[in-house]
Amino acid sequence: MHELSIAQNIVEIIHQYVPAAERDRVRSVFTTVGEHSGIVADSLTFSYQAITAATDLQRSMLVIEPQPFIIRCSACGTESRTEMGSIQCPACRAVETTVLSGTELRVREIELEDEPQEQS
């Protein structure tokens, strides 16, 4: 259950990009979470809601975009989505492979509501 600590890291990143006065305008925070990143999406969403409740980010929503686990084989060049996150190439059984996606944990975008127009 380290999703709470992950959610805290996400909030810190939001704070770096959005000045305090504008944080109540944050609506969506888009994250990329690999299927083998070790993160449980529901648990991360729950943790994010829990730590932003009663803060200026309380109206923001964490959006999790899952990424499949894909490897590329250095021997035969095949790109595969492997069962259970194995790093062995299912085509030729070689073990020299590169993980292309599926382990990442990134904050991609923050979406802010427009500032209310000043009444003249």
Binding site for another protein (CB under 8 A): 1-2, 5-6, 9-10, 12-13, 17-18, 27, 31, 36-39, 84-88, 95, 103-114
Residue with smaller CB distance to another protein, 11 or 55:
11
Question: Contact 92/8 with Cβ under 8 angstroms?
Answer: no
Residue 19: name the closest of 116, 115, 118 by CA.
115
Show the beta-strand stretches assigned E in 12-60: 26-34
Least distance to another protein, CB of residue 88, Å: 5
Residue with smaller CB distance to another protein, 114 or 118:
114
Residue with smaller CB distance to another protein, 31 or 67:
31
Coil/strand/helix, residue 11: helix
